[in-house]
Chains A and B, each alone.
Chain A
Amino acid sequence: MSLINIATNNSKKSAHPKYWRSLRHLKMDQWADSPEFRSFIEDEFPTEAPSMQDGESRRTVLKYMAASLGLAGLTACSRPVEHIFPITKGIDNYIPGEKYNYATVFSLAGQTAGLVVETHDGRPTKIEGNPQHPFSQGAATALAQASLLNLYDPDRSWKVLQSNQDSSWDKFEAYVKTLPLNDGAGLRFLSESVTSPSLSALRTEALKKFPKAKWVEYEPFQRTNGRDGATMAFGEPVTPHTNFDKAKVILALDSDFLGLDWQTPLPTKQYSSRRRVATDEDLDNMPRLYSVESQFSITGANADHRLRMRGSEIRRFAIDVAVALGAIPGLNVLNNSAADRRGKFLAAVVKDLKAAGPNALVITTPRQPALVHALALLMNQTLGSLGNTIELHKVAVEDRVDSGVDALKALTTEMAAGQVSTLFILGGNPVYNAPADLDFAGNLKKVSNSIHLGMDPNETAVVASWHLPQAHYLESWGDAVANGIASVQQPMIAPIFGGRTVGEIVALVAGDKQSAHDIVKTYWMEQWNNGQPEPKAEPVSADLPIVTDPKVLDLELRWKQSLNDGIILGSKPVQPVKLTADAKKVAAAVAADPYPDYGGIELAFVPSSQVWDGSYANNGWMQEAPDPMTKLVWGNAAMMSAATAHDLKIPDGHMVTITRNGRKITAATMIQPGHADNCITIALGFGRKQCGRLGKDVGFDAYPLRTTDAMWYAPRVELYGPGEFFEFSTTQERGLADHQGDRPLYREVSNVEYKNSPKAVEEMGEHPDALDSVYHQFTYDTGYQWGMSIDLGSCTGCNACVVACAAENNMPVVGKAQVIHGREMHWIRLDRYYVGDEDEPRAVEQPLPCMQCENAPCENVCPVAATTHTPEGLNDMVYNRCVGTRYCLNNCPFKVRHFNFLNFHRYDPDIWSMAHNPDVTVRMRGVMEKCTYCIQRIQETKIKAKVDGRRDQIKDGEIQTACQQTCPADAIVFGNINDPNSRVAKLKKQERNYAMLAELDIRPRTTYLARVRNPNPELEA
């Protein structure tokens, strides 16, 4: 595809000198400009490719992508022309084949986390969290990690389109010059949330040039409700910043703070740090989490107590709690019966919150209306926790930049009235995800000049008059700021598909064409010249050096150091402000509409844990990462409780039509234990129509029912059904298999129980001490003995490890049909069990990699000794010896072995091979595969240690498995169990350590730390 690059780059007559490596290359460039080559490219890349949903059509992928790898591979040779500095090594010492890590930054839905990206010969292959970035702390969310595959999306946009006809950047640039922009009267910009300071500056410049132009920020999952709630409470839009690590009692009002409410690992990092119990003191200081929610989220699964309630009724619940806490003056009507579950729950929560005082924390979700946010802030103020567990940060409000659904509504009104002549849609997909009542597609057609910049030729692209390919964040310069911590987004690779950034387009429109690199660098140079940020400030992370060297005043060096660190030198968190909430104003808002009518069936929308808002629809890793609670892959479902399904006479797994105000969607029903009654929850982002081969028509599109008056909760929907049966693809059997019954697999104790009888965990199962075997028993007591400990108490079930493992170990994406057959390949999976009462279940998540049994049942049954034990206690898999009898899979009590039933990788889009980790074999069909504790990482470190002359002195923590490295909850610890001082050895000495199925005398090396819960004794009975 670099040829295409060359083709487009040549013609754009860029400001840069043209680089060529040899005469042959130059000739090739000229050929690339020729019409013959262009027509060849046209033939080779049809825009449409069949869906990969079912096994049959996947095979055709090869045909369509035959040429792409050959071309794409060349891109690896083209380094970005701008200077990029690695975090560890200088480019002068570049060793081909060696991996290099670069710091960069990732933004999603206005939130930012620092990343470190592993590259092999110029190809990004693995995304990790930046350990120095305060919002990542070394971890990365599943979505951040999987964004790598968006870079290698085979169906990405790769050419400029005018009215869906091929065009070029040259023509587009010429076209921009002809646009009658004048004072910007008919000029509008629509973008997703902007986190980039340089883009903001550029935007301000552009809006200065076009005084009548406007800029709207809209994306489907914005946090405008929180902004409005803060404005209601404090009179100005402040951003609450939560410190979960300081909270003793947390009330989560519909908040999924461990899941999809935050797109950074920080909340999980903070919360789980307090749930990792080691000492009695930890037991006493454990936070208690109360969750009130409609659907079962992972936050609800982690809660000590959970109350299921319709999303719209949470408002009423929040009012009741606020009243009981005395937060709302003048209101004292407690609409609550002390006898029912809700009443008891409420009383206990209020008592606990009061007792915790400044260490209490009440939070809600961006999905709840502004009033609930205001109430939550007010409650925190009443409890005294404002300033402790929750801080307020001022946000800069930019003139003529509006965000949120109201701004979008205003924009579409203007579009409908013909007042918009030129609309730049910079990223996003509003035709697909804008509220249905705005008829964005229809109104877009009324705009004479509509330009869409996007990663893929999506629904918006086909309606807009121009479509421009957007550069992925891993291939373009940019920057982002989170809570004052600014980072540079540095590219690892030249744009594979020749895309450009939002900044470049804005600069072009403003008549000041610049490269993304220049935009970012110039911006920060100017900032530094103005003394911002102060370079000698305290570093934000303990690992960063305190800069005292006067040389850093040299701007070039400062720039390089910032790229190296992943954080702009000297940038520091914004200082919280002290504000007092206006309780009367909130009370007035409550009194104005105290108890709206909640009759009928309610439809709730949630972001998808897999495809987010739909932008990850063509991402195989995410489509196949099971939803943590439903274990559903390749699709979504209309989820409801068993009682509601019974009332509506709609069985599980049948198609229904859901209508509201004449709009309708169809979806298949799924009974979700623990779901609130009389409501239905459906994840957004599925059912894309203009999408690549993976995401097209996968799942059910719920956006058509999402209107401006019902962005998250649509009251009074009507259901028609049941229609025909629909087959879900879940990675876990549903029904009986949702419970572990009397099997002591997942173990948990309450903190009180654990304190009183520390042996309680061990006694839950049989632990035979000495069983005789007919075979010689190995002792494994010398050298490195690898082992793993997984803390069930801190694991939240966020899926990050599943995606990390898939990325690290070149896992194939098998598709929906194969998942239905039970052939998914994840080496680590999250087992979800429901616990207790059918109506009010709790849920637990258990990560399950290979247990690396010392006495492995898989090993002695392999006829060809393809799976054997190493002296270091690993259960190795020798792919090239495996003949594929599958006996090991049968005899594995955990079923963590995965068989290549088909040549799965053969059906991958070819470009995905660029994402492969060269340290790991790509397995062919017919062989078994499994987790080996990332043996490639172990070997790499061992070799490094040997080269350094410390063969037997690998430091504890020097080797991290992929799952461990990315775990935001730090639940997974790997190391040498033969070293009594290693972290893992110490964890295994804890009383709550247990080995699963130890009674089979398999001696697993992976052991679990039982979850310690912190239930409220008043509610536990």
Chain B
Amino acid sequence: MSVAVRQDPALIETNPPLVPGRRDYHDLTEQISTIVEAKVYETPKKYWVTLSITSSIVVLLLSMLTYLAVTGIGVWGNNRPIGWAWDITNFVFWIGIGHAGTLISAILFLFRQKWRTSINRSAEAMTLFAVMCAAIFPLFHTGRPWRAYWLFPVPNTDLNMWQNFRSPLIWDVFAVNTYLMVSILFWYTGLVPDVATLRDRAKSKIRAWVYGSLALGWRGSARHWRHYESAYLILAGISTPLVLSVHSVVSFDFATSVIPGWHTTIFPPYFVAGAIFSGFAMVMTLLLISRWLLNLQNLITMKHLENMNKIMLVTGSIVGYSYATEFFIAWYSGDVYEQFTFWNRAFGPYWWAAWTIYTCNAFIPQIFWFKKMRTSLWVMFIVSITSNIGMWFERFVIIATSLTRDFLPTSWGYFHPTWVDMLTLFGTFGLFFTLFLLFARFLPMIAMSEVKGVAAVERHTFAPPEPAAEEVH
């Protein structure tokens, strides 16, 4: 505990500081910057080992995509009636993962949730990388990927025609691209002061030039800070509706169709809750790993982790409620096709997938009602993994199994993934972790300027602390 803080010891007990330990601004800068500035041999060996594994997986992904583009969609298990299977499942899964980043950065920022500061940078980066992984699938799932640019409203010499703006896939193109662009801006804006710090500390000319260019001439003047803060606030304001809109639009791909199991008005909120749930699970997985890899226990504290677990409990419960609602509506609608679809979902050939999602997403997160569970590193790591598995299966169940058995029993089918399907999905994880590891090594993984702000607040706070720093739910 810092000597400058005169907090009530009882309060400290229940509400520990966000940046514990004896640290001043310099310590913080040192701890975070040295990760970036370390020489190759100084970087922990476990980092290089991990990176070499993940980048090998990227090579695997590239070879799978090449094979696909050369041969055709037939190398996947997609068939008639299952036109979309793992491809769009993976797309929605990765888009969903991205949501936690924006939520942590933007919405928690707007709500002045100070605890976000040590995790928001990596969460934002995660958003970007997840959207990149997601974007692979709409591009490569087309039968003729060299024509996929026709989905963009760019002039093409072939047919010179507009896109079909009635198609939810076109809405998707706009929604996802907007999201990607705003996320990049938001992330980069937040990075500027920290990059400037790295520039100032740079000992080589190359470093100085690279970080200097990225810092956009940041000098840390009050004027800069004033513009920076309003720009950040505006971007947070723009990002916030995107958290809701992107996954709502993605859910329209299904909700606007006629297929039982897809044609459901509950999809937008259901998808958004699911996305946040899966996003937090992924942030949790990543943080637990990088906390261990890069020794950040003092910055990513139990308090952060516990708060995230609470959000997972809430969103997991919303998702569970949505599952129940779908079944109720299917029964209540009196529609034979809808009723069969949901009976089939729970008891048909894909019963195991359905019960996987009910277990992983609705039931397992309920253990976070217990403080002991939500503060146990092992429990939360396992739950974060099961939640990710559950959320992947949720998309698979909604997308693929609804297609397997629709209106005409004569066109029913079953989906068998091929090795290309599996290795492609596996490969996107490789890409995601590679990008994340590169980011963790070459950019400040924790927002130094923001953490300093939080540390400063704590340091100068008299008991009782400010309400904003107190409540974290």
Are chains A and B native binding partners rather than an unrelated pairing?
yes
Task: Given A857-B258, A886-B143, answer yes or no on A895-B411 (Cβ-Cβ < 8 Å).
Answer: yes
- A818 CA to B159 CA in the complex, in Å? 32
From 237 to 270 in chain B, residues with beta carbon under 8 angstroms from any chain A beta carbon are 253, 256-259
CB < 8 Å neighbour of A883 from B71, B147, B336, B405: B147
- A881 CA to B161 CA in the complex, in Å? 10
CB < 8 Å neighbour of B406 from A823, A865, A884, A895: A895
Closest to A893 in B: B407
The reply to whether B72 and A885 form a contact with Cβ atoms under 8 Å apart is: no
The reply to whether A883 and B144 form a contact with Cβ atoms under 8 Å apart is: yes
The reply to whether B73 and A901 form a contact with Cβ atoms under 8 Å apart is: yes
CB < 8 Å neighbour of A822 from B71, B159, B405, B413: B413
The reply to whether B410 and A893 form a contact with Cβ atoms under 8 Å apart is: no
Closest to A887 in B: B169
B235 interfacial by beta-carbon distance below 8 Å: no
Task: Given A737-B412, A743-B337, answer yes or no on A865-B162 (Cβ-Cβ < 8 Å).
Answer: yes
Binds A, one of B76-84, B184-192, B292-300, B420-428: B76-84
B166 interfacial by beta-carbon distance below 8 Å: yes
The reply to whether A821 and B79 form a contact with Cβ atoms under 8 Å apart is: yes
The reply to whether B83 and A1000 form a contact with Cβ atoms under 8 Å apart is: no
Task: Given A821-B77, A927-B144, answer yes or no on A1000-B72 (Cβ-Cβ < 8 Å).
Answer: no
The reply to whether A733 and B148 form a contact with Cβ atoms under 8 Å apart is: no
- A881 CA to B162 CA in the complex, in Å? 11
Q: Which residues does chain A contribute within 8 Å of B147, judged by CB atoms?
A: 883
Q: Which residues does chain A contribute within 8 Å of B173, judged by CB atoms?
A: 863
Q: Which residues does chain B contribute within 8 Å of A831, judged by CB atoms?
A: 408, 410
The reply to whether A901 and B74 form a contact with Cβ atoms under 8 Å apart is: yes
Q: Which residues does chain B contribute within 8 Å of A848, judged by CB atoms?
A: 408, 410
The reply to whether B81 and A861 form a contact with Cβ atoms under 8 Å apart is: no
From 816 to 865 in chain A, residues with beta carbon under 8 angstroms from any chain B beta carbon are 818, 821-824, 829, 831-833, 846, 848, 857, 860-865
Interface SS, B side: loop
Among the interface residues B167, B253, B411, which one has the most CB atoms of the partner chain A within 10 A? B411
A164 interfacial by beta-carbon distance below 8 Å: no
The reply to whether B409 and A741 form a contact with Cβ atoms under 8 Å apart is: yes
- A887 CA to B141 CA in the complex, in Å? 11
The reply to whether B142 and A818 form a contact with Cβ atoms under 8 Å apart is: no
Interface SS, A side: loop
Question: Residues 48-91 of chain B: 1 if any A CB is under 8 Å from the residue's CB, otherwise 0?
Answer: 00000000000000000000000111100111111110000000
Q: How many A residues are at the interface, by size bracket?
A: 35 or more
The reply to whether B81 and A822 form a contact with Cβ atoms under 8 Å apart is: yes
Closest to B162 in A: A865
Closest to B337 in A: A743
Q: Which residues does chain A contribute within 8 Å of B256, judged by CB atoms?
A: 861
- A883 CA to B416 CA in the complex, in Å? 24
Task: Given A821-B79, A864-B163, answer yes or no on A832-B168 (Cβ-Cβ < 8 Å).
Answer: no
Closest to B348 in A: A736
The reply to whether A902 and B406 form a contact with Cβ atoms under 8 Å apart is: no
Task: Given A861-B168, A901-B79, answer yes or no on A893-B408 (Cβ-Cβ < 8 Å).
Answer: yes
From 970 to 1015 in chain A, residues with beta carbon under 8 angstroms from any chain B beta carbon are 997, 1000, 1002
Task: Given A857-B258, A861-B168, A902-B71, answer yes or no on A884-B411 (Cβ-Cβ < 8 Å).
Answer: no
Q: Chain A's nearest CB lies how many Å from the CB of B229?
A: 40
The reply to whether B143 and A900 form a contact with Cβ atoms under 8 Å apart is: yes
A880 interfacial by beta-carbon distance below 8 Å: yes
B2 interfacial by beta-carbon distance below 8 Å: no
B13 interfacial by beta-carbon distance below 8 Å: no
Q: Chain A's nearest CB lies how many Å from the CB of B116?
A: 37
CB < 8 Å neighbour of B84 from A775, A881, A890: A890
Q: Which residues does chain B contribute within 8 Å of A861, judged by CB atoms?
A: 166-169, 256-257
- A232 CA to B161 CA in the complex, in Å? 75
The reply to whether A901 and B259 form a contact with Cβ atoms under 8 Å apart is: no
The reply to whether B410 and A737 form a contact with Cβ atoms under 8 Å apart is: yes
From 76 to 135 in chain B, residues with beta carbon under 8 angstroms from any chain A beta carbon are 77-84
Closest to A857 in B: B258
Q: A733-B412, A864-B164 given. 6 additional CB < 8 A pairs?
A: A857-B258, A885-B143, A895-B406, A899-B80, A925-B143, A926-B143
Could you write out 9 A-B pairs with CB less than 8 Å apart?
A737-B410, A738-B409, A833-B410, A881-B159, A890-B81, A894-B408, A897-B80, A899-B80, A925-B72
Which A residues form the contact surface with B (CB < 8 A)?
Answer: 55, 732-733, 736-743, 745, 775, 818, 821-824, 829, 831-833, 846, 848, 857, 860-865, 880-887, 889-891, 893-895, 897-903, 925-928, 997, 1000, 1002
The 10 A-B pairs of least Cβ separation, nearest first, read A884-B143, A926-B143, A886-B83, A901-B74, A895-B411, A822-B79, A902-B74, A831-B410, A863-B169, A926-B144
